């Protein structure tokens, strides 16, 4: 990294923000333009500096909230946003990813992960520290395991229909293939997805491919 990277820190915890500012100052081309403690200050600072990167901890009651993330993107859709937070709630992490954040570090992450995150983001990529990846993988592995166990408990007809659904076949196509009525197919499909606790075909396809049922 050689070009100066302008950064705004959005962190209401003084010692945390000053510590982070010091760490960033150790890299020559990283320039912290301002440290803000609430959303109003943040928006004012963005308008004044229009930074290359915002580093924010959204988990700070009375200062920053997770709802501020989509508000930032709504007003500044092209902004790069890196979260550094003590929040390790898997659901909240996934929600911020869906909002469009470029990286997520927990406050347990290492200094080299911070530098790698900034470098990766400024090159157009995304970066999640090892702690965040572990949090996400634990939930994914648990869901995959539950899916596998529940799949074995489906009736033979339900398993057959679910595999055909995962291949992208419509209810009408499956009905024609199995010589059953569309209503019967729809009922089996609905019951199977409910048992599997799956809400979308895309999620079904991902889980089926991971388990590789089709080759069993």
Q: What is the pLDDT of residues 74-124, one digit of tens each?
A: 999 999 999 999 998 888 988 998 899 999 999 888 889 999 999 999 999
The number of angstroms, rounded, from the C-alpha of 41 to the middle of its chain's C-alpha atoms is 26
If you average pLDDT over each of 19-33, 124-138, 155-169, which comes out highest?
19-33
pLDDT at 71: 95
pLDDT at 216: 45
pLDDT tens digits along 139-191: 555 555 567 777 778 888 988 888 888 877 888 999 999 999 999 999 998 88
The mean pLDDT value for 32-53 works out to 95
Q: How far is it, in rounded angstroms, from Cα 148 to Cα 150?
A: 6
Average pLDDT, the chain: 86
According to DSSP, the residues that pair with 54 across neighbouring strands are 8, 81
Domain ranges of the chain: 5-134, 154-215
Is the Cβ–Cβ distance between 92 and 40 less than 8 Å?
no
Tell me the pLDDT band of 211, cut-offs 50, 70 and 90: low
Q: Are strands 103-106 and 81-85 parallel, antiparallel or unpaired?
A: parallel
Q: Which two tokens stand for residue 152?
A: 């074995």
CATH of domain 5-134: 3.40.50.2300
Q: How far is it, in rounded angstroms, from Cα 111 to Cα 210?
A: 34
According to DSSP, the residues that pair with 127 across neighbouring strands are 103
pTM beyond 0.85? no
Nearest to 84 by CA among 112, 114, 64: 114
pLDDT at 146: 67
Taking every pair of C-alpha atoms in the chain, what is the biggest distance, in angstroms?
70
Could you tell me which residue, 25 or 168, shows the higher pLDDT? 25
The number of angstroms, rounded, from the C-alpha of 100 to the middle of its chain's C-alpha atoms is 8
Q: How far is it, in rounded angstroms, from Cα 119 to Cα 125?
A: 9
Torsion angle of C-alpha atoms 157, 159, 165, 170, degrees rounded to 10: 0
pLDDT at 144: 57
Could you tell me which residue, 213 or 153, shows the higher pLDDT? 153
pLDDT at 56: 96
Residue 28, pLDDT > 80, answer yes
5-134 and 154-215 share one fold? no
CATH of domain 154-215: 1.10.10.10
Q: How far is it, in rounded angstroms, from Cα 29 to Cα 115?
A: 11
> What φ, ψ does residue 7 adopt, rounded to 5°?
-125, 140
For residue 31, the SS3 value is: strand
């Amino acid at each position: 990294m050689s070009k100066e990277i302008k950064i705004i820190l959005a962190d209401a915890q003084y010692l945390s923000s000053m510590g982070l500012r010091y760490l960033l100052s150790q890299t020559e081309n990283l320039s912290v333009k301002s440290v803000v403690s609430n959303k109003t200050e943040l928006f004012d600072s963005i308008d004044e500096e229009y930074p290359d990167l915002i580093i924010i901890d959204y988990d700070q009651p009375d200062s920053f909230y997770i709802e501020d993330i989509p508000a930032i993107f709504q007003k500044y859709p092209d902004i790069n946003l890196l979260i550094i937070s003590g929040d390790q709630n898997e659901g909240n992490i996934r929600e911020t990813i869906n909002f469009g954040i470029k990286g997520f570090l927990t406050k347990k992450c290492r200094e080299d992960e911070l530098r790698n995150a900034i470098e990766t983001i400024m090159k157009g990529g995304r970066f999640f520290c090892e702690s965040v990846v572990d949090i996400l993988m634990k939930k994914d592995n648990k869901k995959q395991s539950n899916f596998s166990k529940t799949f074995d408990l489906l009736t033979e007809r339900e398993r057959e229909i679910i595999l055909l659904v995962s291949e992208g076949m419509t209810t009408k196509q499956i009905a024609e293939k199995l010589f059953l009525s569309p209503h019967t197919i729809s009922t089996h499909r609905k019951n199977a997805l409910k048992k599997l606790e799956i809400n979308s075909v895309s999620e079904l396809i991902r889980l089926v491919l991971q388990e590789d049922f089709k080759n069993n």
